Structure 1
Amino acid sequence: ATKPTQTQIQFFESNEKRGACANDAASPQDAANHPKTLAQKLCEALKADVAPETMPTLSGPALKDNPIVRRTIRNCLPKFDSADDPQSGAEGQKISEWISSKFGHDANAFKASFEEDLAADTTPTRDRVKQEKKKITSMTTAQAANLALSQMEGIRIKRDLEAAEKMKNISETVYNKKSEECKGEKDETKCSSKDGCEYKDGECKVKATTAATGTDGKATNTTVSNSFVIHKAPLLLAFLIL
């Protein structure tokens, strides 16, 4: 088999930094000239001026139409959970208005109410054995962000499970109490007039919906506040994407 050979090709006419290219861009595009054509393209790429990325102006009006910010807010805040498309429609407009009002009316307001708060704020994270709190601004890697977000998600799940267990216990207590009130009644009319009771299958029984309500007939509030997680997660996510 024929061994490949190496041919040295000069990119620049001289050793001057980013000087003129040594090869003519108008060379015939055939196999023999392919190495020189490639060298010409690489030379032009090395000479090209790369415009540095500039930090965008951060404020509510500047970020209100940013699709990443809109999706982050929609996904993290329960009040916008029903928005199918955060980019359009009435729900998208509400998200846009919320961002515009909450992130500050200009760059100075954004810095005062957002960046400075972040500089002093901490969030729970867990890398090794125990949970600890770290400054949000110290989480500059994907791994650090994932650890913090997963820990906050764990806190949320734990609270949801505790709320569900509390609801279950309340439901059982309400059901047992109502069951005692209903089962002694033999008259169908009197049974039906009792709050939380219904006459069914020849017996006075607890209505199926009663177990999920309090003794006053109103839905029992067992929601555990997730304000910590609800506010921290969007703040951290917004910090990372900006």
Structure 2
Amino acid sequence: MSSIIYLAATMMSLALGAKDQVAAKVTDVCKEKKYLQQLAGRLTAEISKQEGDLSSLETDLRLWKLAAVKQDKCQWRLYTALFFKATSLHLEQAQKVKNTRTKIGHALQLTERHVGAINAIQELARTKVTERASKHGTNVATKINIALERTTGGAQLCKPLGEHENIDDDKPTPDFNFLDTIKLTATSMMHKLMPDETLTLTGDSGCSPGQTNAPFATAINGCSNASGHAIAATATAKAKIDHGTTVKVFNQEKQMQECATQPSEPNGETAFLTKLGKAICEALITGAETVETLSDANGNKLSGDDLIPNAVRNCGAAFSNIDKPSDSASNKEFVNYLKTRYSDTTKVFKQTFGTNAGTTHVALRPADKTDNKPINQTTTPEQQAAVLSNSEGERIKNEVESEKENTVTASAVDFKTTEEKCEDKPHGECKEEDGCEFKVGECKVKEGVKAEEKKEERCAGKGEKECKAPGCKLEDEMCKCFSIMVKEHFAMMVSAFMSLVAF
């Protein structure tokens, strides 16, 4: 996805020869500061978006893992595949976000340092030199010491730009994607920005009038004390305070793809500005990358993914004979099955596997009592662990009870219904003589064949003692059907979930 962004930026640059026009208008430290603050805002927004997208992906994978607990075998494998896809994607995208966080963090640190230097020189410029009230004196007959101090009342370096003011009113937002160069002021040059300061000695007579640009010795020549000597101080802002150094950012032929070649041996403040330019470039490039999520998923996209078809194939016996699950040419029926189950529109996918799944209630045992909560309210690691561990505990308990109580082997008594004979059969084993047919990617009861007694009906109504037949179990004081196959699938998933997701 990021390569698409880079390609688009390159094509725009080549087509328009684009450069950031706002950067070209940075002619004083006030504008310099504003530009860097806007840049910092852009970088902060980009890392926030990437982290938000990554968090959304993590929410999805937890949702699908917990939702799988409550699904039948058909839905279970669909949710399981989504969980593994989201887990794989999360691991990959987390590394991308980590890299972006490092690059942007470095750029922000250097930017804040430079803005801090500008703030300092702006504050210093608001002061001026003036005469001290005391501490003046003479130590020889030919010298007088004039004591000075700094006070408020200096001149502004330049016009500060507020939050809603712009460097260029015609173009409020800089084109950071086309930032080839920018002029930044080295801290070693900032003293040159200070206002011109003048001390006026009053109470003299005999001075030559009309001198404006003379050395001190010439200006004071002929002056003598008349009465009431005093010193007055003034500070005047310089008309031009552009002492910026041109700093390279992007390679102008590969904007948003490649940084400019920097000087081989920069030194002093030039070295810092070079480092800042490179950091800005790298931060803009990584910040523009897109974190891939499953927010726009649907059956059409998921059926063409490598992981999803393979996971669904491996989780269902009906598809175990498929060699290349993502090959639509040789497995058209299976691919169509995925498209149908996951829906061909993103809207329906989100409703089914997002909203509806989130409102599904799951059992959790955080303490001495078992509780039921919607998945979207099961948000803490402790709650999620309570759901998975409780379900695993139920599976183990039912398995032990089944092994203890069922003394009649499956070969001696076959309670399989027509539906059970067809369920999860691969294409080659889906036999017509069993009343089955392979349709829409699944082995189902053939149309027209009368379904035999269902296990649910066989178990329903039995008392505690009678509810010991194979395939039955007592749950919530009711005798219900018990399928160990689904529970075995779930046990495998609990183990996988615990190993892949760090709570």
Whether contact under 8 Å (1:139, 1:145) holds in the other structure is yes
Q: Partner residue of 1:105?
A: 344
- Cα deviation, residue 86, structure 1: 5.7
Alignment RMSD, CA only?
4.6
Alpha-carbon distance in structure 1 between the residues aligned to 2:376 and 2:310: 22
More displaced 10-residue stretch of structure 1: 221-230 or 35-44? 221-230
Q: Partner residue of 1:59?
A: 298
CA deviations 1:87-133 (Å, max 9, x no partner) are: 56999877644332212232343345443432431112233333222
- Cα deviation, residue 40, structure 1: 1.6
Match of 2:280 among 34, 43, 47: 43
For 1:27, give the aligned amino acid: Q
Structure showing the higher strand proportion among its residues:
2
Seq. identity, %: 19
* Counterparts in 2 of 1:89 and 1:126: CA distance versus 1, 3 Å: farther
Match of 2:392 among 153, 157, 165: 153
Q: Partner residue of 2:371?
A: 132
Q: 2:411 aligned with 1:213, yes or no?
A: yes
Structure showing the higher helix proportion among its residues:
1
* Counterparts in 2 of 1:37 and 1:109: CA distance versus 1, 3 Å: same
Alpha-carbon distance in structure 2 between the residues aligned to 1:91 and 1:157: 40
* Counterparts in 2 of 1:228 and 1:26: CA distance versus 1, 3 Å: closer
Unaligned runs of 5+ in 1: 1-9, 172-211
Alpha-carbon distance in structure 2 between the residues aligned to 1:40 and 1:146: 47
Tell me the SS of whatever aligns to 1:14.
Answer: helix
Tell me the SS of whatever aligns to 2:363.
Answer: strand
* Counterparts in 2 of 1:122 and 1:26: CA distance versus 1, 3 Å: same
Instruction: Give the alignment of 1:5-44 within 5 angstroms.
Output: 13-16=32-35, 17-18=38-39, 20=182, 22=184, 23-24=247-248, 25-30=260-265, 32=267, 35-44=272-281
Return the structure number with greater relative CO, CA threshold 8 A, min gap 6: 2
Aligned residues: 181
Alpha-carbon distance in structure 2 between the residues aligned to 1:122 and 1:60: 25
Alpha-carbon distance in structure 1 between the residues aligned to 2:349 and 2:360: 15
CA deviations 1:40-62 (Å, max 9, x no partner) are: 22122444563565764232222
Q: Partner residue of 2:483?
A: 225
Tell me the SS of whatever aligns to 1:29.
Answer: coil
Unaligned runs of 5+ in 2: 1-28, 40-173, 175-181, 185-246, 249-259, 417-469, 472-481
Q: Partner residue of 1:120?
A: 359
Whether contact under 8 Å (2:309, 2:326) holds in the other structure is yes
For 1:29, give the aligned amino acid: S
